[in-house]
Each structure stands twice: as structure tokens, then as C-alpha cells.
Structure 1
Amino acid sequence: MKAALAGLLAAGLLCAAPAAAQTPYVVIAPEPPGRGVCPDGLCQPQALEPLFKALAAMEAGSRQTPVHILQIGDSHTAGDRISGKVRADLQRRFGRGGRGALPPGVPYDGYAPLQVTVAARGWVMETAPLQPPAGAPSPRVGLSGVRATSTRDALMAFDLEPGSEASVLGVCGREGADNKGLSIEAGGVGREMRLGADEVCRRMTLPDGVRQVRLLALGDGAVVDSVWLNRVGTGVSLSSLGRVGATLRDLASRDETTVAAELNAWSPGLIILAFGTNEGFDGALDASGYETLLRAQIARLRRLAPDAALMILGAPDALRNGAMNGCSVDRLRAPPPGLAVVRDVQGRVAADLGVAFWDWHGRMGGDCSADRLALRGEPFMRSDRVHFTNAGADWIGGVLSADLLTAYDAWTAAQAGAE
């Protein structure tokens, strides 16, 4: 198998879909975060105690497994720039525990996750429709919202950057009708991974410090829903599973069996819900229905991952074109009214259910901060006033990680004072 894979790579057959080269973090001009409605940006920080206990145990040496953070959301999450900064900051503090969970293969053009380059050939990709209406058929997919079905000899390749080497590979999926699974090559060692007729997640220990992992399908019809690459030992891993245009309703449509298997295998210490922008731009938003949906998804995650802390990232500021006397400098842009409604629901539900809430809107600078950030000498928002530039994502991700660490340090100090 090794020789065959070497021939495939030498022939350049994986070059059709490589992710872009990774850009290292650089120092950028500081931008002070806004004050917002939550002290130090974070309301209900006590809800993060399960995460804080895990981090403290790791620092004390009594925990020998990585702490996993899972973020699920829309395009802000899919780009992995904001979550990538949080990952980098937490790994700098607590150690690198691995890259975490990834969609199977290359889910869309321009896919460029940080810390890993992904390429694929021979997989049939199927993506769940966005915001499916109630009762509409949807592909059986997990938290990534996409599945990859193999043709014979289909190949996935994961190349990890230095410092992000893996020693554990996990795959969630199921075998095809021919009952054949996957052949895995990592660190010069080839092994077979069997899946099953029903959804299952398999875990394999790799040679220490592997930077290249190859998954080769042994037959037609094998389905892969997600892949994860972690380390044995301590540290933090952070998975970012997002889709452009996604809403909370998309999360609700994910297959229960697949989601349960993934959460059981990943054992997240924290689940971050990062939806709200697309709901806020929906002119037909039903606030009552949205609140019911949010409460139901929090209950669902608590049932499927009972040991995980939960945190909502409140919807950020964003602007829509075509306003009359808008708040932007050119007076042509304003936040859609639904964004404030979404934030109100998110904040109230989080407070009522004991979920941590990060005031993204406030930390950006409040209303129309998207315009101010876009007009900086080094723009932090793109011209659409919705999405962050790389520099802006690095900044706001740093604000989020700093707020998490501030809350953690306050919790550890309180624990020490109580002893």
C-alpha cells in the first residue's frame, strides 16, 4: 500500500484539492475590546466549571488526556480563523492536545483549516441542505453537516504542521455493502480499520509524532462522517465545525445516531454554539420559535454530552446594505433588526438555563462596530460588514481566548482561596 500511495502522491493526483498554505500568526495593532453587557465579556462564567476543573486537573498533573473544545456554527466557525486563534492561545497556555475533529475530506472549495492541510480524491461528497423545513428528508450526516462516500481506492490525506503532530486517529462512519473498511497509513505503518454496518466511531493509536495520515477506502460505499487527529497525553484540542449560511435549525436536523456517536467518542469538555448571524438576517424570524429551538438544542446537547460545559457566542454586529439614514459612515448600512432579537433570546435563555454567554456584539464595540472595524487603517471587517478579515479574526479570537482565560484564572483563584 505504501508504494501505491507514494505513486499516487508523486503523480500529483492529490493536488486538485489541497487547502491553502497556512499563514502564521503575526502581531497586529491592538484594538481595545468593547465593554458590553457581561463583566469581562462573559456572563454566567460559573457554567464553565466542568471545563475549568478539567484544565485545572491537567495543570496539576492529575489528568493525562487532552481537554477537547468543540465549536459548532456558521461561516465564522467554518473559516477557522477565530477558532484558530482561540486554539493557538489555549494551546500556548495548556499545551497542544491535537487538531481535533474535522469534516471528511474537502467539504467545499476554499476549505483551509489551520494546523492541517487536507486533500482528497475519489470521495462522493454529500452536504445536508441548509435550514431544511420540518419533515423534509435530509442526508444522514453528523455535526460537520457533510458525509463522504467512497469509490474504490478513494483517498484522504491529512498533513499536519510542525508542532501539531498526531498520535491518535479517529474516524466516525460506516462500511459499505461489501463490508470493507479503510486502510490507514501513518508514520510508515499501514493498518486496516473496520467500521460497521451502523454508525460507529473507531479510534486508532498511531506511531508517536505523526505528521502525515492517509485513509484509503478498500471498497465502494464506505461512509465517513468525520475524522479526528489528537495526541496521547495532555493539552487542548479545539474542533471547529461550521458551514456557510448555517443556522441553529441546521444543527437540529443532524442525525441523532451519528451525533450521539461523535459526541461520545470526542468527549468534549466544552461545546460552543456559534450561530445567530444568519437568523438575524432572516426577515421572517419568529422570536418565540427561535427561543423554543434554542432551548431544545441545549437540552439535546446536555443529554448527549452530559459532562460538557456549554457556551453561546452571542450574535456579533453585522450590517445590511440599503438602509435609509443607517449608522454607517456612508449612512447606507444598518444592522438588521433581527440581530438584536437573536441576541436578546440567546442572552435570556443562557441566563435561564445556566449556560455561559459571550457578548460578541459588545466586545466588538456595540452597534455599527462592524463599520468602524472595516474602516480601520488595517481593516478588521471585510467590505460586506459581516465577515472578519484574517487580521480581524485574529483580534476577536484573541479577545475571546483572553476572556476565557480571565474567567479561568478567577475561578482558580477562588478555589485556592476556599481551601
Structure 2
Amino acid sequence: MKRLPGPMTLLSALLVSGCSPVSAVATQPAPSPAKVVRVTKAADAEPNLRLLQNKLKNAQRQAVTIVQLGDSHTAADLLTGELRTRFQQDYGNGGIGFIAGSPVPGTRYDQVRITAAKSQWSLISARNQHSDRFPLGGYLSMPLTAGAHVHLEPTPPTDMRYRVSTLYQAGSNNRVQAHDAYTQAARSLPMTNGQWRLSPAMDNLALPLDLTFASSQNLAVGGWNILGQSNSGVVFSTLGINGAQLSVVDKWQPGWLDTLKALKPDLLILSYGTNEAFDDDLDVGLYESQHNQRIVQLRQALPGTVLLIIGAPDSIKNKGASSCQARLPRSLHPVMEAQQRVAQQNRTLYWSWQKFMGGDCSIVNWQAQDMARPDLVHFSKEGYIKVADGLYDYLNGLIAPSKH
């Protein structure tokens, strides 16, 4: 399948002021969305919702962790960046969360910028490369030289202090060192026998921060986990891959669920569907069966975690077609309906992104208002913020009673 353009074009476009040109697709009122499967009332469906309510009620004393897995909409960290801001405004800032081990082209993080010398690192991505060692998140960072380091710059500047650990795989003993403007810290990295392991945290660190590995031999880095020193508030991690379908998790090394469990998510969000919708040859029955199997696996691995499936957003594939239905990706409605059935069968939360937008072909009107990009797939910063506001209102409607 031809993968959709990632957020690189989107991110570049956000730097340009002024209005975006309206696509050649005519703007017209969006028809009502097709009838879809009814999902059980959220408060009755998700068995762990009360646990999340209680955790958020006590977020000033114990951190609450949210993890989102997804495609380019997640990798841009615009929608999720706004969600993170809203949660942290209401419940406290628990830190940056889990990020890639080295810079990933086309991927950004709203609260931190990763930089590193290209000569020191090799990046392997589950998007379009192969490896039997991909960690949770799908980015494999390989140091090329002894003393390979990365630099973390806060965006915007902050005076917070953090606990920082690395997700690593080592064939021999190694060491990681952290250096900020005030202090130095280090942790030993024992060999892991082919498994991924989170290192012990280095405490009370400030950003900007330099992180250095003693040796490049037999070492792979899967990411950094950056948590607030106070162990309170909300931590919101985004693990997105441009062009990804939910099946990308099958490329991750067995054991990725153990890493996910180590992050201790209280809410896990799955935000896929756009790339499945653009696959004209998608076997919807197989897709639904595999989706269901993965939710069952997640329930078993994370028995106390709230699961949320976000339905695929509206999009246009055939811009020159004469009717709205002909413009839609062929698999869009089958994918959305399968997502809803999986949510219903497994008692997860479900939020219809497309319904929030206004139904079929509604992205045309969003683009006319400069809230979607001309590709009629991705969104502008303002559009992602509007989506985040809608999603947060939905979630807040479920959890707000716990605040009183």
C-alpha cells in the first residue's frame, strides 16, 4: 500500500503564515454520516474507568500515566500535545513521558527537542525497515561511536526536575551518563540477554540535558522515559509512526508488552485507521479479527488500564470524483465500523473522530476553514487543537465527577 505523507510537510506548512489554498474539491455541506454500530454507554462499558477516575482525583499525590499509540496524527504531537496540555493544566504536570532514543525525521515532541550528531547514530524505523529487535514504539537507535550522545532541549524552557531512564538492549555491560547545567549522574547498564530493559532512573535532572553512552558495542537504544521528580501529575507519552497501521506492533520484538507494562499506563489510547482506510485491498474481516486479538492481549497484559479506541478521521482519497461517497477512501467506513465492534466486544471506550468532524466529506469544510491540510488527510495546528478539545471534552465528561 502506498503510505500517506507524514507530518513533515505539515510541520513545514505550520511555519508559513497566511491562509492555505482550498483544495480543488468543492466545498459543500457534509452529508450525515452512515449508520454505525451502537456502542454501550461508556461509563458501563469500560471496567477500569473508576480506577482512572480515582487516580486522577489523587494526581497531586501519585502520577497518572497516559500512553497513545498511533500513526502520523500521533507522531506530529499536535493533537496529543494539546491533550497533554489540557490534562496537565487540570491535574498537574507529571513530566514529558517516553520519547525516541535519537532524532526521528518527521516526528516531533511538544515539550522537548532531541538533537544528535548524525555521525554518532543510526536510526532503524519500523515504518519501512526490517529488524527483529524493534522495541515498543518501533524506533531502534544504534550508537556508532564510543561516547555517542543526545541532547534534550525543553520546549518551552522549564525549571522542572526529572527522573530519566533509558530503554536499552545490551550484549555487554555499559554505562549511561547525564549532564545538565547543575549536576552529573550515571547509571550502569547491565547486559540484557537480548531483551529490552528500562534502566534505573537518574534523579533530579534539569533540561537542557546531555546523555552519553560509554560504549557503542552491542548496544541498542529504544528511548528515554522522562518523568517529573515529584511523581505526581499526568504523564502523556506519544508513540507514533508515520504511515503506520495497527499491525505495526507485529514488527516489534516479543516482549514489547513488558515494556508497556513497565510504563504503567492508566489510560492507553489506540489511534490508527487512516492508513487502513486508504488500503483498497484491506481484508476487513482479517483486520477486525486481528484488532480484536490485540485488544484481548492488551486486556490480559494491562488488566487495570482503561483502553480507548479512536475511530479513523474523515479523509478524501479521490479528489476528482463527482460524489462525496466516491471521494471517500474505499475502506473508511468498514474500518470505522470494525473499530466500533471491537470496542463494543471488548468493553473499551470509543470516540468517533469522523462523527466529531461532521461525517462524510466534512474534512473539505475543515480545510476551507484552514483546519485541515490541502491533502485532505492531515490537519493544521488549529485543526488538531479543535480535535483535541473535542476528545478532551469527551474524556472529561467521564472523569470530571472524580474531581469533586
Q: Same fold (TM over 0.5)?
A: yes
Summarize the Cα distance change of 1:45–1:141 in structure 2 as closer, same or farther, 3 Å threshold.
farther
Segment of structure 1 superposing worse, 265-274 or 116-125: 116-125
**Aligned to 2:147, what secondary structure does the other structure show?**
strand
Q: Return the offset for 1:308.
A: 1.3
Please point out which of 102, 117, 121 is paired with 2:113: 117
**Which runs of structure 2 are paired with 1:329-368 in the superposition (5 Å)?**
334-368=327-361
**Which runs of structure 2 are paired with 1:90-101 in the superposition (5 Å)?**
90-101=87-98
Looking at structure 2, the residues matched to 42 and 354 of structure 1 have their Cα atoms a distance apart, in angstroms, of 8
What is the aligned-residue identity percentage?
Answer: 26
Give the counterpart letter for 2:72 in structure 1. S
Which position in structure 2 is the counterpart of 1:251? 249
Greater relative contact order (Cα < 8 A, sep 6+) = 2
Which position in structure 2 is the counterpart of 1:79? 76
Please point out which of 251, 269, 272 is paired with 1:272: 269
Looking at structure 2, the residues matched to 96 and 322 of structure 1 have their Cα atoms a distance apart, in angstroms, of 42
Summarize the Cα distance change of 1:354–1:51 in structure 2 as closer, same or farther, 3 Å threshold.
closer
Which position in structure 1 is the counterpart of 2:211? 215
> TM-score normalized by structure 1?
0.80
Give the counterpart letter for 1:233 in structure 2. N
Give the counterpart letter for 2:223 in structure 1. S
Summarize the Cα distance change of 1:142–1:47 in structure 2 as closer, same or farther, 3 Å threshold.
farther
- Kindly report the root-mean-square deviation, in angstroms, between the aligned alpha carbons of the 2 structures: 2.8
**Aligned to 2:238, what secondary structure does the other structure show?**
strand
Is 1:189 matched with 2:183?
yes
**Aligned to 2:149, what secondary structure does the other structure show?**
strand
**Which runs of structure 2 are paired with 1:20-419 in the superposition (5 Å)?**
44-48=42-46, 50=48, 52-60=50-58, 64-108=61-105, 110-121=106-117, 122-130=120-128, 138-150=131-143, 151-160=145-154, 161-163=156-158, 165-177=160-172, 179-186=173-180, 188-198=182-192, 199-207=196-204, 210-221=206-217, 222-231=219-228, 232-257=230-255, 259-327=256-324, 334-376=327-369, 379-409=370-400, 412=402
Segment of structure 1 superposing worse, 246-255 or 41-50: 41-50
5+ residue gaps, structure 2, are 1-10, 16-30
Note if contact 2:80-2:238 (Cα within 8 Å) is conserved in structure 1: yes
Looking at structure 2, the residues matched to 114 and 386 of structure 1 have their Cα atoms a distance apart, in angstroms, of 21
Per-residue CA deviations over 1:257-285 (Å, capped at 9, x if unaligned) read 2x133213210001111011100100111
Looking at structure 2, the residues matched to 164 and 356 of structure 1 have their Cα atoms a distance apart, in angstroms, of 36
Q: Return the offset for 1:58.
A: 4.5
Summarize the Cα distance change of 1:398–1:322 in structure 2 as closer, same or farther, 3 Å threshold.
closer
Note if contact 1:166-1:229 (Cα within 8 Å) is conserved in structure 2: no
Looking at structure 1, the residues matched to 40 and 94 of structure 2 have their Cα atoms a distance apart, in angstroms, of 25
Which position in structure 2 is the counterpart of 1:29? none
Number of equivalenced pairs:
367
5+ residue gaps, structure 1, are 1-18, 24-33
Note if contact 2:126-2:138 (Cα within 8 Å) is conserved in structure 1: yes
**Structure 1 stretches of at least 4 aligned residues deviating more than 6 Å after TM superposition:** 34-38
Looking at structure 2, the residues matched to 51 and 118 of structure 1 have their Cα atoms a distance apart, in angstroms, of 34
Looking at structure 2, the residues matched to 373 and 322 of structure 1 have their Cα atoms a distance apart, in angstroms, of 15
Per-residue CA deviations over 1:194-248 (Å, capped at 9, x if unaligned) read 223222111314226x222221011113211011111123211111111110001
Summarize the Cα distance change of 1:193–1:282 in structure 2 as closer, same or farther, 3 Å threshold.
same
**Aligned to 2:199, what secondary structure does the other structure show?**
strand
Note if contact 1:275-1:315 (Cα within 8 Å) is conserved in structure 2: yes
Per-residue CA deviations over 1:64-101 (Å, capped at 9, x if unaligned) read 32111000010000000001111111111101111111
